[in-house]
Structure formats: structure tokens, C-alpha cells
């Protein structure tokens, strides 16, 4: 069964709720999902994954230092993540607070790894975003996004 990793950092739980909803969405497909706090994530775990989805709260318009540290540590795998599926999500404190720039900052790193990123034409285009505690709409979008990632994994595995 293909494997997806959803790795997040979250201090007050908002990004974690998003991570859980994305994982549930992926679970609806025939894909195995592991949800990991970035503090417990091992860079080498990425090697066996078909998809890697990273989430961070927005800190000064970009990802939290904990997620940046993890991404910087992935340099030891540089070239080995090419062709895997990548995704990103973020929770900010306010609308216009930089959640999209945070998603983009994570996606930039994943693209530099040579990963495949799936946008969406109807819901948050770059990846799920939420303001504060994710509301029902944000949770639904996270679940839809997870489902889309799962479907893409299966499509590329054919």
C-alpha cells in the first residue's frame, strides 16, 4: 500500500487539527497515512513515503523555525525525494496574516527537492489554510485536500 506522511508543527493545536483532517482525507483512499509531530519526525522516514505533506503555523509570514530546521535537515536526502508528491498547509492568526506565503515557502522547498505539487482550482489553491482554530469549512477543505493527495498517489502508482 502506498504511504503518505503528514508532518506538522503546532503550539496551540490549530495546525494539528488541520493535519488530522488532511490525514483523514488521505485515509479515505487506499493509502496508508502516518501523522507525525515534526519534533518526532526523522528525515530518513521520508525515503519510504510516496507523499509528504508538511504543515506549520504562520510565524512572521513564513514557516516556524521547527519546520524550517526539519526541512534544512533534509539536505542529506537531496536528490532522493525527486518525483514524490508534496503538499503544504498553514494556520495563521489573522486573514492576510501570511498563511499563503507560509504554504508557498514550504512548497518552494519541496519543489527544490523535485517533488510534485498538486494545486486546486476550487478550494485554497496552494494548500489548506485556516485562520486560528480551523472552522468547519477549513476542516472540510483539509479533508478534501487529503483526499486529492491520496487519489494522486494512486494515479501515479498505476
Ligand X SMILES: Cc1cc2nc3c(=O)[nH]c(=O)nc-3n(C[C@H](O)[C@H](O)[C@H](O)COP(=O)(O)O)c2cc1C
Contact footprint for ligand X (CB under 6 A): 10-16, 57-61, 91-94, 97-98, 132
In terms of CB distance, is 94 or 111 closer to ligand X?
A: 94
In terms of CB distance, is 8 or 25 closer to ligand X?
A: 8
CB of 134 to ligand X, least distance (A): 9
CB of 13 to ligand X, least distance (A): 5
Which string of b and e fits 70-86 if b means at least 16 CB within 10 Å? bbeebeeeeeebeebbb
In terms of CB distance, is 11 or 28 closer to ligand X?
A: 11
In terms of CB distance, is 37 or 44 closer to ligand X?
A: 37
According to DSSP, the β-strands at 85-92 and 129-131 are: parallel
The residue with its CB nearest to ligand X is 97
Q: Please, what is the angle between helix 136-157 and helix 14-27, to 10°?
A: 40
Name which of 139, 134, 156, 130 is nearest 58 in CA terms.
130
CB of 36 to ligand X, least distance (A): 15
Distance CA 27, CA 77 (A): 27
Amino acid at each position: 500500500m502506498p504511504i503518505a506522511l503528514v508532518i506538522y508543527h503546532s503550539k496551540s493545536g490549530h495546525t494539528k487539527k488541520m493535519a488530522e483532517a488532511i490525514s483523514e482525507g488521505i485515509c479515505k483512499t487506499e493509502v496508508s497515512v502516518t501523522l507525525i509531530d515534526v519534533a518526532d519526525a526523522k528525515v530518513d522516514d521520508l525515503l519510504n513515503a510516496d507523499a509528504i505533506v508538511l504543515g506549520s503555523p504562520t510565524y512572521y509570514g513564513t514557516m516556524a523555525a521547527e519546520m524550517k530546521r526539519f526541512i534544512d535537515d533534509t539536505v542529506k536526502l537531496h536528490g532522493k525525494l525527486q518525483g514524490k508528491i508534496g503538499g503544504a498547509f498553514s494556520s495563521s492568526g489573522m486573514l492576510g496574516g501570511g498563511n499563503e506565503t507560509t504554504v508557498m515557502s514550504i512548497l518552494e522547498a519541496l519543489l527544490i527537492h523535485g517533488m510534485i505539487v498538486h494545486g486546486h482550482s476550487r478550494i485554497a489553491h496552494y494548500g489548506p489554510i485556516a485562520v486560528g482554530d480551523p472552522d468547519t469549512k477549513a476542516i472540510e477543505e483539509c479533508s478534501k485536500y487529503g483526499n486529492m493527495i491520496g487519489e494522486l498517489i494512486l494515479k501515479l502508482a498505476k
